[in-house]
Chains A and B, each alone.
Chain A
Amino acid sequence: MKVLLVLCSLFFCCGQAHAATATEKGYEIIVEADRRASGFGDYTMDMEMILRDRAKQESHRSIRSRVLEIASDGDKSLTIFDSPKDVRGTALLTFSHKLDDDDQWLYLPALKRVKRISSSNKSGPFMGSEFAYEDLGSREVEKYSYRYLADEDVDQIPCFVVELIPKNTENSGYNRIVSWLDQKAYRVVKEDYYDPKNRLLKTLKLHDYRLYLGFLWKAHHLQMVNHQNGKETDLLLSNFKFNNGLTDQDFNKNSLQRLQ
């Protein structure tokens, strides 16, 4: 009898959890993933971007990046271009925000000019690659609504499958994003991006996760494939350094002008 009661209550709980919804479960998974990706303080890293067209012809970009975590708001980041050589020294300063549009400034070294740029629409390609600005910036939990879809394995790794729907559809290039997060460490291992007409546009795969600071997993190889135009972009991240003592002073318009 006791066993039956326990079973009954278990069944009841699970049933309720299911009813209590895919939305809540999806949200909880993303909040947990966000919690695990937080608390790093600051880091710097290098990026090598390899663009491949349909004929597999390659072009390369080298980028340096500095990121400062802001507890009550989105991160601040600085992206400096080293190649192609004609854009060497060009830098992008971004203050991401939880709810509002990000603030963004572009530094053009030839004119020594700092230009405020509009960042509300982030669907445009980053440096001609298959990554859009919105794929690379810090993704704020508040800017999407969520739905838990299923449990599914990716390369034998058990994953949660969660759907992300941009709250501001006008400023996103996506109708929805489907994300696979591994159930152990809540790391994103794969994402599908759907265009505004809900056709599959791109697939991102994240490989070579390494652990930093004892808790923070960072992917070192990101592969983006565009199914509609047949182009690909590989992003190789390296040289992660934490606790650099970066402060707000390293992320303002003055620091932008003295970068090399």
Chain B
Amino acid sequence: MTKMVVSAAGLMLLLPAASAYAVDVQGWLSTEGSLFTEAPAYGEQHRNNGSLAMDMKGYHAFATGSSITVEPFYRLDSSDPNRTHGDLRIGNFLYVADQWQVVAGVDKVFWGVTEFVHLVDIINQTDTLESIDGEEKLGQPMIRLTAWRDWGTLDAFLLPYFRERPFPGKKGRLRGPLCIDDTKAAFESSAGKHHLDLALRYSHTLGNWDLGLYQFYGTSRDPLFRENESEDHTLIPYYQQISQTGTDLQYLHDQWLWKFEGLYQTGKKKESGALVFGFEYTLVGIGDSKVDLGMIGEYVFDERAIAANSLYNNDMMLGLRINLNNPASTEFLFGLIQDMRRDSTAFLLECSHRLNNSFKLELSGVIFCQIDPTDPASVYRDDSFLKAVVMYYF
């Protein structure tokens, strides 16, 4: 605890110093508590946990429009040492010309259109310790060239260094019976983490259509696992080399958004694919109120070997988004995930509410209400939780 307070105080002291150099500094601090409804399933796991996190962004723009951005992130966790982790989310130089730009350094890139799963989003590794929705990402070192013309936007990526996926430790929740030993990760490529990955993406907006198409060659962001028989029964992540073609499409019609993401992947062993499609419909101002109601329906089918470890392999997802449109921007998202082959159901909840100009309250949770024993997600059956986060923005 003392360590936490000292580091937080130290970082606060750095802020005024940084602003003196015409650098725009902003960020957030958060305190978080997770309550699990059931006792842990596996030996050394702690029941509940609390943690503190900080994200700080420094930004400097040059008169030419080019800029430097640095955004470190750090979390201290009370129960899982693996979850006490830091990352450089962003650390790059951006050069902007008339119809093109270059990013050199660490950055985040998001591709995709659907709400529940993010199949085609491949540039950044997922920070699984931060959230189970797959939306938190590790910073990815890259050189990115973007050019835009009347016919669309081209993005070319050189990705010289691979980021391994982080996993909960033996004391952490939301894991399987065997811990993952990421210190022993194995790679198909002899270059290991230094394999140069490449990606090229074309995207365009044509009237009510938004479309993207890309080709990726390199290290799969999703590992397979091998059992480590020699030692105390751990799993070792194994990262394959893949070639992946992906597309995302979205069509807007009145209050309807129709969405599709698909990918086709080839590796050493076999070829496989995955797709997700669905809609989002928004009812503006239900009744006489200001409340917006969004309805989401999506279906995902993923035949890749890695989907065996995922919540989403052959599932239907239904979502209800309620936006009160009040000054506190209170929002709720309820989700239902139903496996189409097995008798497994999970509920999701996300909620946020602004307390004032600097503070925001967030609640989220997952209830694994019925999980078929043959479902890979059954390892989480005792891990239903509710998480409360207070964010302070500075």
Chain B, Cβ-Cβ closest to A95: B205
- A113-B290 contact, Cβ under 8 Å, with A51-B327, A260-B59: no
Majority SS at the chain A contact face: loop
A105-149 CB mask vs B (1 if < 8 Å, else 0) is: 000000111101010110111011100000000000000000000
Contact of A69 with B by CB under 8 A: no
Contact of B94 with A by CB under 8 A: yes
Contact of A83 with B by CB under 8 A: yes
Which A136-168 residues have a C-beta within 8 angstroms of B? none
Contact of A65 with B by CB under 8 A: no
Contact A128 B282 (CB under 8 A): no
The CA-CA distance from A125 to B153 in the complex, in Å, is 33
Contact B205 A124 (CB under 8 A): no
Residues of B within 8 A of A101 (CB): 254
**Chain A nearest CB, measured from B183 CB (Å):** 29
Contact B257 A118 (CB under 8 A): yes
Residues of B within 8 A of A88 (CB): 26, 393
Residues of B within 8 A of A111 (CB): 108, 110, 135
Which B335-377 residues have a C-beta within 8 angstroms of A? 354, 356-358, 360
Interface residue from A85, A127, A252 paired with B358 (Cβ < 8 Å): A85
Which residue of A51, A123, A125, A173 has the most chain B CB atoms within 10 A of its CB atom?
A125
Contact of A53 with B by CB under 8 A: yes
Contact A128 B252 (CB under 8 A): no
The CA-CA distance from A258 to B93 in the complex, in Å, is 11
Contact of A18 with B by CB under 8 A: no
Contact A258 B290 (CB under 8 A): no
Interface residue from B98, B205, B285, B290 paired with A253 (Cβ < 8 Å): B205
Chain A, Cβ-Cβ closest to B97: A249
The CA-CA distance from A128 to B289 in the complex, in Å, is 12
**Chain A nearest CB, measured from B95 CB (Å):** 11
Residues of B within 8 A of A113 (CB): 110
Residues of B within 8 A of A60 (CB): 357
Contact A260 B67 (CB under 8 A): yes
**Chain A nearest CB, measured from B354 CB (Å):** 6
The CA-CA distance from A172 to B393 in the complex, in Å, is 35
The CA-CA distance from A120 to B254 in the complex, in Å, is 5
- A125-B325 contact, Cβ under 8 Å, with A85-B394, A111-B135, A258-B94: yes
Contact of B328 with A by CB under 8 A: yes
- A254-B146 contact, Cβ under 8 Å, with A118-B255, A123-B284, A260-B24: yes
The CA-CA distance from A59 to B329 in the complex, in Å, is 12
Contact of B391 with A by CB under 8 A: yes
Interface residue from A84, A85, A116, A253 paired with B153 (Cβ < 8 Å): A253
Contact A85 B325 (CB under 8 A): no
The CA-CA distance from A60 to B99 in the complex, in Å, is 36
**Chain B nearest CB, measured from A141 CB (Å):** 22
The CA-CA distance from A15 to B103 in the complex, in Å, is 68
Interface residue from B67, B257, B354 paired with A86 (Cβ < 8 Å): B354
The CA-CA distance from A87 to B193 in the complex, in Å, is 36
**Chain B nearest CB, measured from A144 CB (Å):** 19
Contact B393 A254 (CB under 8 A): no
Contact of A103 with B by CB under 8 A: yes
B198-229 CB mask vs A (1 if < 8 Å, else 0) is: 00000101000010000000000000000000
The CA-CA distance from A36 to B59 in the complex, in Å, is 40
**Chain B nearest CB, measured from A117 CB (Å):** 8
**Chain B nearest CB, measured from A26 CB (Å):** 28
Residues of B within 8 A of A128 (CB): 325-329
Contact of B148 with A by CB under 8 A: yes
The CA-CA distance from A51 to B99 in the complex, in Å, is 40
Chain A, Cβ-Cβ closest to B146: A254
The CA-CA distance from A71 to B357 in the complex, in Å, is 39
- A124-B357 contact, Cβ under 8 Å, with A254-B146, A260-B59: no
Contact A112 B109 (CB under 8 A): yes
Chain B, Cβ-Cβ closest to A109: B57
Binding site for A on B (CB under 8 A): 24, 26, 59, 61, 67, 69, 94, 96, 98-99, 101, 108-110, 113, 135, 146, 148, 153, 203, 205, 210, 250, 252, 254-257, 282, 284-285, 290, 292, 325-329, 354, 356-358, 360, 391, 393-394
Q: A112-B108, A254-B153 known; 12 other A-B pairs, CB under 8 Å?
A: A59-B327, A59-B357, A84-B393, A85-B358, A87-B329, A103-B205, A111-B110, A116-B257, A118-B254, A121-B284, A254-B146, A258-B94
Q: What are 29 A-to-B residue pairs whose CB atoms are below 8 Å? A: A51-B327, A59-B357, A84-B329, A84-B354, A84-B393, A85-B358, A85-B393, A86-B360, A86-B393, A87-B329, A88-B393, A111-B108, A112-B108, A113-B110, A116-B113, A116-B257, A120-B255, A121-B254, A123-B284, A123-B285, A124-B285, A249-B98, A252-B148, A254-B101, A254-B146, A258-B67, A258-B94, A260-B59, A260-B67
